[in-house]
Amino acid sequence: MSDAERAVVAGCPDWVEQVVDWGATYETDHQKMRLAIELARQNVLRGTGGPFGAAVFEMASGTLVSVGVNSVVRLKNSTLHAEMLAIMLAQQRVGSYTLLRSELPPHELVSSCDPCAMCLGAVLWSGVRRLLAGADRADACALDFDEGPIFPESYAYLSARGVAITRGALRDEAVAILELYRRQGGPIYNA
């Protein structure tokens, strides 16, 4: 097995550095969600992936820690959803497998769409203390994305473990990106 076959490559496309203002403070849910939606929009417009964007922020300060865009097709890896990439890069940046370490401030994950079953599971394991989502599961399913087994109990489970959940933030703006992807004929890669 070659070195390349023993490694997993994960990262955001180069254009992210042109779109993201790393020095900005994101004080409101709408500011945070607009970043996730813009990441999703640029991912579609630039042809680098599916219609999903995500970011991890420090909750109290609004400091941006990481971003992610759907990279499944681009990097040929079914696990590289926007949320997964944002979580991986946040953990890499803070140097920990969990964002729940006592010396770290609480973190939140902002996603342009309700997370699929895999990403919702990662919310629990990542250590984020809040999930903010835009479009909902039905919106993604309307494009024939299979979001997996998610039930009201899934959200109740997270909530019972201390993860605050806010859904439907700027939903119409987030749904517009899904529709853009559909109009452009983007692949439905998990059907």
Domain ranges of the chain: 26-183
Categorise residue 148: left if φ over 0, alpha if ψ from -120 to 50, beta otherwise: left
Question: In this structure, what are the phi and psi dihedrals at residue 68, rounded to the nearest 5 degrees?
Answer: -150, 150
Give whole-number Cα distances, 130 to 2, 59, 77, 124, 173, in Å. Answer: 40, 8, 26, 10, 21
Q: Does domain 26-183 have CATH number 2.60.120.280?
A: no
Three-state DSSP class for residue 136:
coil
pLDDT of residue 191: 66
- Mean pLDDT computed over every residue of the chain: 95
pLDDT of residue 4: 72
pLDDT of residue 8: 87
Write down the catalytic residue from 5, 38, 58, 83: 83
- Which pTM does this prediction carry? 0.95
Tokens of 73: 């097709």
The tens digit of pLDDT for each residue in 56-89 reads 999 999 999 999 999 999 999 999 999 999 999 9
The Cα 158–Cα 165 span in angstroms is 8
Give whole-number Cα distances, 57 to 61, 90, 150, 178, 186, in Å. Answer: 8, 9, 24, 23, 29
pLDDT of residue 7: 84
Active site residue 58: no
Which residues in 168-185 are b (16+ Cβ under 10 Å) and which e? ebbbebbbbbbeebeeee
Q: Which residues, given as ranges, of the chain have pLDDT below 70?
A: 191
DSSP-derived pairing of the beta strands 130-135 and 164-166 = parallel
The tens digit of pLDDT for each residue in 127-145 reads 999 999 999 999 999 999 9
Tokens of 52: 């999903």
